[in-house]
Amino acid sequence: MKKALLLMVVAVMSSTMSFAQLPAGSFGQDFTITDQFGVSHNLYNYLDQGYTVYLDVSATWCGPCWSFHLSGALDELYINHGPAGAPGVSANTSDDVMVIWIDGDGTTTDADMAGTGGSTQGNWLNPTGTAIEFPLANPATSLANSINDDYAIAYYPTIYRICPNRIVTEVGQLDAAGLYATLEECPPAASQANDPSMLSYNGDLATCGNVDVAVTIQNNGTSPLTACTITVTGGTAPLTYNWTGNLSTYAVETVNVGSVAITGATTLNVSITSADDNTSNNSTSAPIAFAADGTTHVKLDILFDRYPEESSWSITDDAGNVVASADYGNAPVPADNSTKIVDVYLPSTGCYTFTAVDAYGDGFYDMQWGAPSNGHMYVTSVSEAGGTFSNIWIYDGTYNFSEAAAPSSVSTVVGIEEVSLTTGVNVYPNPANDFINVAYGLTNNSVVTIDVINVVGARVMTEYIGSQAAGNYTSRLDVSNLSAGVYMLNVTINGTANTVRVTVK
């Protein structure tokens, strides 16, 4: 069942952990654990021998973990494909797999592992009358937490496949045959001297004009990799970058290749074009979204699926600063299948990127899990009249996504209009840390109110000054409790608002 234990696990695990598993294609970190027999096992040692490692991170109290354990999938995988000569492995093994089970809850006791403790589903060492032979580890709290952090464990059980080149992919609770079939997705172990590999694209996915290209390369060769040439096509002109360094076998490096200009939506192709003993792993590609014209008023129309806690979004400016965001995994979590309308007022014109994230990777595509309908997320720019100025991202919920990015080239100010300081309102210091002084002049008796508005249009502070006679005044606002960011400060004098943009550091 999809996400059967997700909410309960997130509630009991450390609040510092990420609410998302490692993205497919991540680089696995090394660890050494001690199994139920007191034998040590090192991850990289198995990978260097050419084994693909299947890692199950579970907890003794976890019901779905226990069900998967009882299925015997990992036991069968280990018996038929584990290391030749290892305890319990068939003499006819294919000799290309290792299985490691780790309890990710650092408070688990040995009694829990044996089924006699107070926080266990049963005897994990001998669940069906036959002792488990593959490594079962109950690490100390510090090591358990380190593995949880390195592998972004957000729910139990998590079953990863780790290829010899250290690349990690979550494979889920498949049977033994299904798990073994995923081994075909691993690239061959390093066997040739010069074999640079293009692992992934890490650059911009959305732009208003130029794309900053970054990729991760890996040395899949047996000799140190000291140089290679990377070429980018798909922009207005090809881009070539000559990389130099020193990567040992399977070591990786993220390379900032450079900037490519585009004039519309395109697909960038990034390839290693220098001499290479193996050209089958030299290329990757990335679709690039190109910005439509937009306004400073952005509207989000959201229909959640049955798992709103998986959803989050952000809007960043062209310097990468977050100007607005929401994480629906934080309390209060929206109700399943509920709707939400969010109005965001961007602080100025410029290039902005909207990014949506689904922690599970299935977006709002809920019908694949038996729901009667899907969710949606419509992100639009709003015109001065309140209608749709342009579409930024229109997602109908009929496909999976982990992360989606869409740009908007904002050239029109609507919703909140910034006025000149010649209106008689001055704000200092700006940017501010703890206090803002608001200076203004009145030509006659007036009623004054000062409001602070955040970028999503919410009033976060109001200072009612009241009636004042003609003259010059300065009001001091305490903004020490406000989050860092951009705000609109409205000084309303006899019903007329004078708006100044301020920044709180």
pLDDT of residue 422 exceeding 50, the answer is no
| Sheet of 350-358, strands arranged across | 292-295, 403-412, 350-358, 311-316, 322-327
Is 180 part of a structural domain of the chain? yes
Q: And the tokens for 396?
A: 């109908």
Last residue of a domain, one of 412, 430, 460: 412
Is 1 part of a structural domain of the chain? no
Q: Is 65 helix (H, G, I), strand (E, B) or coil?
A: helix
In this structure, are 298 and 271 located in the same domain? no
> H or E segment at 80?
helix 73-81
**Angstrom distance (rounded) from CA 381 to CA 143:** 48
Q: Which of 113, 127, 129, 134 is nearest to 61 (CA)?
A: 113
Task: Give ∠ CA 182-183-188 in degrees, rounded to 5.
Answer: 140
In this structure, are 53 and 133 located in the same domain? yes
pLDDT of residue 201 exceeding 80, the answer is yes
Is 467 part of a structural domain of the chain? yes
Output 68 or 209, whichever has higher pLDDT: 68
Q: Name the CA radius of gyration of the chain, rounded.
A: 28
CATH number at residue 76: 3.40.30.10
Is 61 part of a structural domain of the chain? yes
Whether residue 436 contacts residue 461, with contact meaning beta carbons closer than 8 Å, is answered with no
Number of domains in the chain: 4
Write down the pTM of the prediction: 0.66
Is 447 part of a structural domain of the chain? yes
CATH number at residue 244: 2.60.40.10
**Angstrom distance (rounded) from CA 85 to CA 63:** 33
In this structure, are 275 and 327 located in the same domain? no
Residue type present at position 155: Y
The per-residue pLDDT for 2 is 40
> Average pLDDT in the 431-459 region?
83
Is 191 part of a structural domain of the chain? no
> Average pLDDT in the 324-335 region?
85
Whose tokens are 């829990």? That residue is 112
Is 60 part of a structural domain of the chain? yes
Residue 54's domain spans which residues?
6-185
Cβ of 208: how many Cβ atoms within 10 Å?
Answer: 19
Last residue of a domain, one of 266, 290, 314: 290
In this structure, are 250 and 300 located in the same domain? no
pLDDT digits (tens, 9 = 90+) for 239-283: 999 999 999 999 999 999 999 999 999 999 999 999 999 999 999
pLDDT digits (tens, 9 = 90+) for 76-111: 999 999 999 999 999 999 999 999 999 999 999 999
In this structure, are 251 and 304 located in the same domain? no
Is 456 part of a structural domain of the chain? yes
In this structure, are 46 and 174 located in the same domain? yes
Strand locations in 206-338 (E): 206-207, 210-219, 225-233, 239-247, 252-261, 266-272, 283-290, 292-295, 297-303, 311-316, 322-327
Whether residue 312 contacts residue 357, with contact meaning beta carbons closer than 8 Å, is answered with yes
**Angstrom distance (rounded) from CA 97 to CA 84:** 10
Last residue of a domain, one of 272, 290, 308: 290
Q: Is 97 helix (H, G, I), strand (E, B) or coil?
A: strand
